[in-house]
Amino acid sequence: MTTDPRRRVPRTDALLADPRVAAGVERLGRELVKSVVVAVQQRVREGGLAPGAAADAVVAALPASAASLHRVLNATGVLVHTNLGRAPWSPAAVEAVVAASGTTDVELDLATGRRGPRGEGAIDALLAAVPAAQAAIVVNNCAAALALVATCLGGELVVARGELVEIGDGFRIPDLLVSTGARLREVGTTNRVTRADYAAAVGPDTGAVLKIHPSNFVVRGFTAAVEVAELAGIGVPVVADVGSGLLRPHPALPDEPDLQTTLAAGADLVLCSGDKLLGGPQAGLVLGRADLVQRLRRHPLYRALRVDKTILAALEATLRGPVPPVHRMLATTTGELRARAEAVVAALGGDAHVVEASARVGGGGAPEFELPSVAVALPASFAEPLRHGAPPVVGYLADGRTLLDLRSLDPADDEALVEAVRACR
């Protein structure tokens, strides 16, 4: 009688025929499930798993979805965390994306049966939210918006030296601008610039004056900057990249520029991100003068940068629907956070306790601005197992402790947070 261990390995077709595995094929696809089956067969082949346990092992190893991204509980205190996908969407935006994932009327006028304007609903929602804008377009991120403006307006771009910034992952604004073929005319010094500097630099080759949000740094001390209102009427378009996508002034962020105020102050175009303080999907928004927006829309590069139907749907739902989660995070009081933290600690007991904390906007918005917050403190040893949990929980280490800041966490996830901590004990 043969003792070849390969004969003991369950056959692929037999494992795939298990009803539970077959259901996984329907949900995840045959190739993904088959890769799990092959891995389990190898464990049996090596003697680490009994043949009779193979089907159960396959079921246990099947991923939750066909995508590799995981739902993560954000307890970092960073409201718009770039590494965690920036702004969480409102339920209305999620519902809109599900509806748009099928066949939609994205470029069809149902009344006439003819081709219609793409993204008209999202554009109308933008203009309703920012009345100072005459027109708007949507591209795939704010860098794309800036590249389109630089390419289309062309020639020489006047920009303050102190605004030629580098943001996350080594991305440098001047490198992007130069890559479009534009020439940069730098004015002022690192810490000081005046209107006279801008006026002296404007000439027949000037395509625009740029104002760039400083993103993730602040210059303090002996400084001088020029506001958009002072640049209005300088003779060329004034383009302001306000970065974070704040639609209107927000009481919690008094120093953060917003689209409505910047346009009303005299900017010809404003640019921003859709997935930061606006609270929606990744997108680059350009709003302002109708003639300039039309020039951008007609440029060949626009076609390469435009967004798909799901982004348009999520953006419109974010603008028209309920308050997005980011704004709920900003508005939450420390009293509400403390009550939640005390409830979490009461459920956990033991080594968990409530501490004061400081949250941040993140995503380059409101640099160095701190929001008072409340966190649940645990021993430092919890940080790593929490990240490996289901769902993963990401907090941060401070003073030898793991802190789980509740300002960046949806209140509906408090119970999931408790269960995740319990699973680590």
How far from chain centre, in Å, is Cα 374? Answer: 23
Angstrom CA distances, 218 to 191, 223, 256, 366, stand at 10, 11, 12, 9
65: amino acid identity, one letter: S
Query: What confidence score (pLDDT) does residue 137 get?
Result: 97
First to last CA, the chain: 48
Q: What is the dihedral of CA 137, 139, 142, 148, to 10 degrees?
A: -80
Residue 255's pLDDT band, with cuts at 50, 70 and 90, is confident
Confirm if 73 and 409 have CB atoms less than 8 A apart.
yes
pLDDT digits (tens, 9 = 90+) for 84-137: 999 999 999 999 999 999 999 999 999 999 998 899 999 999 999 999 999 999
**In the chain, % of residues over pLDDT 70:** 97
Q: Report domain extents, the chain.
A: 5-61, 73-84+326-423, 91-323
* pLDDT above 80: residue 65: yes
- Beta carbons within 10 angstroms of residue 220's beta carbon: 7
* pLDDT above 70: residue 5: no
Average pLDDT over residues 199-206: 95
Mean confidence (pLDDT) of the chain: 93
- Residue at token pair 């993730």: 216
Burial of 236 (C-beta count, 10 Å sphere; 0-12/13-18/19+): buried
CATH code linked to domain 73-84+326-423: 3.90.1150.180
139-177: burial string, b at 16+ Cβ within 10 Å, e else: bbbbbbbbbbbbbbbbbbbbbbbbbbbebeeeeebbeeb
Confirm if 392 and 73 have CB atoms less than 8 A apart.
yes
Four-residue CA torsion sign, 395, 282, 157, 263: negative
Give CA–CA dist 197/186, Å, rounded. Answer: 9
pTM for this prediction: 0.90
DSSP secondary structure string, 343-381? HHHHHH-TT-EEEEEEEEEETTEEEEEEEEEEEEEEEGG
pLDDT digits (tens, 9 = 90+) for 408-421: 999 999 999 999 99
Residue 4's pLDDT band, with cuts at 50, 70 and 90, is low
Long-range pairs, 102-106, Cβ under 8 A, ≥24: 104/309, 104/313, 106/309, 106/312
CATH architecture of structural domain 91-323: 3-Layer(aba) Sandwich (3.40)
